Amino acid sequence: MNLPPGPRAMSELIKMLVQRRQHPIKLYESIFKKYGDIVYFKFGPYGFVMLNDAEATEQILLTDAKNYTKSTGYERFKLIVGNGLLVSEGDTWKKQRRLLTGVFSSKNIEKFYPIMVQESLKMMQRWKVNQEVDLAEEMNLVTLQIISFSLFGKDQFSDSKIVRSSLQEMLSYLQTTRHLWIQLLLSSFPIGNKRAKALAIEKSLPLKSTKKFFGAIQNIDKLVNGMIEERIQKGQKENLLDSLISVTDSTDQSQMNKEQLRDEVVNLLIAGHETTANALTWTWQQILRYPDVMKKVMEEVNSVISGETPSYEELTKLVYLKATFEESMRLFPPFWRISRRNMVPTKIKNFDIPQGTNVIASIYTLHRNPAYWEDPLSFRPERFINSESIKKNAYIPFGAGPRSCIGAHFATLEALTILAICLKNTQMTLLSPEDPAYFMSLTLQPKEGCKVRIEGWTKK
Ligand code: HEM
């Protein structure tokens, strides 16, 4: 068998485990440096492949996608999102993807633009001159408000603090190393559709943290199920949840049942805010760090936007701002890796990959790989203005292939709206270090947030 090169000695594997905990990216970088861009290793019975190669990544996500499922990490995620789109497989996923593609069409998403504008303005109105603000916190809050209002409708959703703390509690529970081991052990017994049974097993584990985790799940379920009942009763067509309730499958005319609705709503709450918030925080960090970028962004914003807020048409003309957002997601991709598992023996390039291997596409290092990017560490939005030369699948912040992000358009529209409105109306300076330490969980975040001082208003 022609396996990819990689660490084989137990002592090296143990060192890797320790390093993974301290600084996963340094581990990834050192592994690729030592063994090349396709690496294989085994922990006990579990095989892993790591990819830092655009063609190999394309193979697992696109050309050979039918031979891969989401990996064991996503399996445990089912405890939270049940059978939502992010984690479902097979026919269930196909059907849900068909239904949600219509709901997330550009035309449908544009309807939520006024919510994006209004929530950006509301956030800004909370700020005072000379106040120190953590943009990481602010971006988290505003994106959660936007996805909540888009889902449930304005003025109907006043519990976003509970939602936020519950979502954070649930995510952090799934991310600790101790649970990673549970995750590996449980991977032999896939949760599949049996969320209730899996939750019952998990609940019986003698861990303090499980109690908090289950409290958080209960809070979210209560809120979301209540909202579903209410919107079904109202029978209106005003928000995303209404669209989810009423969307009909063109092949068999079926609609989602309440359980499926719950799973998709929780899925969208989770997938739809933290990633965008992190992408925005990193973009602010770059704009505030590089005066030449700030100058160009401001020139564009001031020449394109005539009023306090951009019209939808004006927003589409902010080409340099969009490129700044894209370049920021190149260097700091919120989803910094994507993982899959092959259901049959596969080949990646000329290597043999045994069945059941966890294959990790390392987006962070791929986006910085000098084989694809000139001067990869410098921040240059211009790359995305003349983007023809970017190698296919060397830039995949929203994933690639059939399982790529369904919310990419929503996220981009939302991010440009928030950036444009704040840039047009406020002046701020960066207080956090220019090159902040990372916190790497499911998403990549600046460890200490992004602290700024509000210097004043351009127009108030
Ligand atoms: C900048 C913000 C965002 C980034 C970087 C991002 C990134 C991604 C990536 C990389 C995937 C693929 C994961 C994989 O292949 O395993 C994904 C999937 C997904 N995203 Fe996003 N996302 C963002 C915003 C959003 C938003 C705003 C929503 C919804 C409102 C959303 C909903 C989803 C869903 C439902 C999936 C699963 C799609 C499927 O498996 O068919 N995302 N996202």
Q: Taking the alpha carbons of 41, 43, 47, 52 in that order, is the dihedral positive or negative?
A: negative
In a 13 Å sphere around the CA of 231, the CA atoms on its Cβ side amount to 26
**Half-sphere exposure of residue 73: CA atoms within 13 angstroms, side-chain side:** 17
Which pTM does this prediction carry?
0.93
**Residue identifier of the C-alpha nearest atom 39 of ligand 1:** 403
**pLDDT tens-digit profile of 216-251?**
888 899 999 999 999 999 888 889 999 999 999 888
Is 3 among the domain residues?
Answer: no
| Distance of CA 420 from the midpoint of ligand 1 (Å) | 23
In a domain, 111, yes or no: yes
Residue nearest to atom 27 of ligand 1 (CA): 272
pLDDT in tens, 392-410: 999 999 999 999 999 999 9
CATH code, 88:
1.10.630.10
Location of structure tokens 């996963």: 24
C-alpha–C-alpha distance, residues 201 and 186, integer Å = 10
The 10 Å Cβ neighbour count of residue 121 is: 14
Beta bridge mates, 40 = 49
Quote the pLDDT of residue 171. Answer: 80
- Residue 1 included in any domain: no
Copy the structure tokens of residue 38. Answer: 């396709």
Atom of ligand 1 nearest to the CA of 100: 35
Q: How far, in Å, is the centroid of ligand 1 from the Cα of 412?
A: 12
Give the whole-angstrom CA distance, residue 50 versus residue 57: 10
CA of 321 to the centre of ligand 1 (A): 21
Neighbours of 7 (CB within 10 A): 17
For residue 363, give its domain range.
Answer: 10-457
The closest alpha carbon to 444, from 376, 364, 348, belongs to 364
Q: Give the model's pLDDT for residue 460.
A: 46
User: Which residues line ligand 1 at a C-beta cut-off of 6 Å?
Assistant: 70, 85-86, 97, 147, 267-268, 271-272, 275-276, 279, 334-335, 338, 397-399, 403-407, 410-411
Q: Which residue in 419, 335, 330, 403 sits closest to 372, CA to CA?
A: 330
> What distance in angstroms lies between residue 455's CA and the mean position of ligand 1's atoms?
34
Supply the pLDDT for residue 96: 93
Q: What is the pLDDT of residue 13?
A: 86
Are 421 and 121 in contact, with CB atoms under 8 Å apart? yes
In the reported structure, the alpha carbon of residue 352 is separated from the centroid of ligand 1 by a whole-number distance in angstroms of 29
47 assigned to some structural domain: yes
Q: Number of structural domains, the chain?
A: 1
SS3 labels along the chain: CCCCCCCCCHHHHHHHHHHHHHCHHHHHHHHHHHHCCEEEEEECCEEEEEECCHHHHHHHHHHCHHHEEECHHHHHHHHHHCCCCCCCCHHHHHHHHHHHHHHCCHHHHHCCHHHHHHHHHHHHHHCCCCCEEEHHHHHHHHHHHHHHHHHHCCCCCCCHHHHHHHHHHHHHHHHCHHHHHHHHHHCCCCCCCCHHHHHHHHHCCCCHHHHHHHHHHHHHHHHHHHHHHHHHHHCCCCCHHHHHHHCCCCCCCCCCCHHHHHHHHHHHHHHCCHHHHHHHHHHHHHHHHCHHHHHHHHHHHHHHCCCCCCCHHHHCCCHHHHHHHHHHHHHCCCCCCEEEEECCCEEECCEEECCCCEEEECHHHHCCCCCCCCCCCCCCHHHHCCCCCCCCCCCCCCCCHHHCCCCHHHHHHHHHHHHHHHHHHEEEEECCCCCCCEEECCCEEECCCCEEEEEEECCC
For ligand 1, the distance from its centroid to the CA atom of residue 408, given in whole angstroms, is: 7
Q: Ligand 1 test: best mutation among 60, 275, 409, 410, most atoms within 8 Å of CB?
A: 275
Distance from residue 211's CA to the centre of ligand 1 (Å): 29
- Cα(424)–Cα(416) distance, rounded to whole angstroms? 12
Note whether 31 and 6 are within 8 A (CB).
yes
* Below-50 pLDDT ranges, the chain: 177, 460
Residue 396: partners with Cβ closer than 8 Å, 6 or more residues away = 57, 61, 338, 361, 363, 366, 404
| Triad 254, 222, 177: Cα angle to 5° | 95
Tell how far the Cα of 268 is from the centroid of ligand 1, in angstroms.
9
Cα(128)–Cα(126) distance, integer angstroms: 7
Of residues 339, 355, 404, 349, the one with CA closest to residue 67: 355
Closest CA relative to residue 31, chosen from 7, 9, 60: 7
For a mutational test of ligand 1's pocket, the pick from 270, 396, 405, 409, i.e. the residue with the most ligand atoms closer than 8 A to its C-beta, is 405
For residue 5, being part of any structural domain is answered with no
Strand pairing category for 358-361 and 338-342: antiparallel
Q: Give a yes or no: residue 2 inside a domain.
A: no
From the CA of 339, give the closest atom in ligand 1: 16
Give the ligand 1 atom nearest the CA of 401: 15
In a domain, 199, yes or no: yes
Q: Give the residue from 221, 218, 219, 240 showing the smallest Cα distance to 231.
A: 240
Q: How much distance in Å is there from the Cα of 413 to the middle of ligand 1? A: 14
| 51 domain residue, yes or no | yes
